[in-house]
Amino acid sequence: MRKFSPEGFRHQFPALRESKCYLDSAATSLCPQTVIDATHQFYQTGGSVHRSHYLQAKQLTERYEACRQQVAELINAPQAEQIIWTRGSTESINLVAQSWLQPLLHPGDEIIVSELEHHANLLPWLMLAEKTGAKVVRWPITAHGELAVDDLAPLLTPRTRLLAVTQMSNVTGYRPPLAAIIHQAHKAGVAVVIDGAQGIVHQPTDVQQLDADFYLFSAHKLYGPTGIGILYARSDRLAQMRPVQGGGKMITHVDFNGYRLQQAPWCFEPGTPNTAGVIGLSSALDFHRAIDWQAAEAWTCQLAEHAVKQLAQLPGIKLFHAPGSPIISFVFEQLHSHDLFSLINEYNVALRVGQHCAQPLMQALGVSGTLRASFAAYNAYDDVEQLVRAVTSAYQLLTEEE
């Protein structure tokens, strides 16, 4: 039976055994002991996948490939072979750009990118447009910091080839209406790539129900290890992709006259893979499956809402927070965020400060940067109180100096 106990959940994370207030999970979540143990065990025993034929290597390969099926089940992909391993969300997006879209682009073609996007879902498209003569079209947010589907329709033209949109903003926690967005884009014959890096841990994802062309995320946002990412491609899009890197393990035959590629997804995974990362991800998905994630998410958002209510009482604060989300960004009038951060840091509160790799969104919000607190299911009310105390004290010290 799946269950969730805030205290029991928190206890599984060794990084929190000391009094540590970690509020930077939107950047990287902490790892539970089971994931740490799984990765450690791999390095203790060793072995390689898809290369050697001794028993240990065969067993390791089976476990490595079984993780594809785990990911497929997590996002309801039709087949495990539609899951490609990458180094992270950034590489997944670049793979879509170079392997799928680049051969289809002509000068004057258009790529729509929402104003919410992390740089990882903007820079690859800007670089591709520069290379091919295509154009990146901005889909602006509304005055409420949201994406309006009605505003998308005029941007979709016969030259539009792709729409790039996030599942959840890493600045405000806002979640776009993906089903409606994808439906609108597909009516115009436009493919959609969804950056699920923030959203995967906070909401169920069904790529078939969404009819997503491409969906991607990273293990390190899902209580897993760093350096391992996932790219899901719909079967027709996968058939159109061509490898852009060459190396070992991706071919069935090669000589000086040419080569024959492996089938997907293996033809997109040249070289020695991040086996430890996949093993760690497998353990993280086992961990995920054992938890009532609806209850865990409700707890996480409850903490964030409690923090919002308390922070909102401070004079001059401006909050950027989508209701029902785990992310809170904020600034104070006439105070520099980095000055606040320097003081908050003295209270042992782990926050993020800056532009959060979302400069266009910062410009749209009218700020140069923000402080960001991002909650996870291992946080507690004590973390909220420590955050509020630290921010209040820092604010008072800075305003007293004035």
CA 6-7-11 angle, to 5 degrees, is: 115
CA 321 to mean position of chain CA atoms? 18
Nearest to 283 by CA among 74, 70, 35, 61: 35
Please identify which residue in the block is written with the tokens 């594809």: 68
Q: Work out the number of other CB atoms within 10 angstroms of the CB of residue 148.
A: 14
Q: Alpha-carbon torsion 259, 265, 266, 270, what sign? A: positive
CA 212 to mean position of chain CA atoms? 16
Backbone angles phi, psi at 12, to 5 degrees: -85, 0
Token couple for 194: 């969804």
Going along 262-335, which residue ranges are E strands? 317-320, 327-332
Q: What is the DSSP-derived secondary structure letter of residue 96?
A: I
Rounded to a whole number of angstroms, the CA Rg of the chain reads 22
Nearest to 204 by CA among 73, 28, 114: 73
67 catalytic per annotation = no
**Rounded Cα gap, residues 331 and 345, in angstroms:** 16
Nearest to 158 by CA among 109, 192, 103, 113: 109
The DSSP annotation for 134-162 comes to -EEEEE---TTS---HHHHGGG--TTEEE
Query: Is residue 129 a contact partner of residue 136, using CB atoms and an 8 Å limit?
Result: yes
Which residues are paired to 216 by β-bridges? 195, 231
Q: Work out the number of other CB atoms within 10 angstroms of the CB of residue 388.
A: 19
Q: Name the active-site residue from 31, 67, 267, 357.
A: 357
CB-neighbour burial class of residue 154 (10 A; exposed 0-12, middle 13-18, buried 19+): exposed
**Rounded Cα gap, residues 231 and 72, in angstroms:** 11
**Rounded Cα gap, residues 74 and 373, in angstroms:** 27
What one-letter code names the amino acid at 309? K
Token couple for 336: 């520099």
**Catalytic positions:** 357
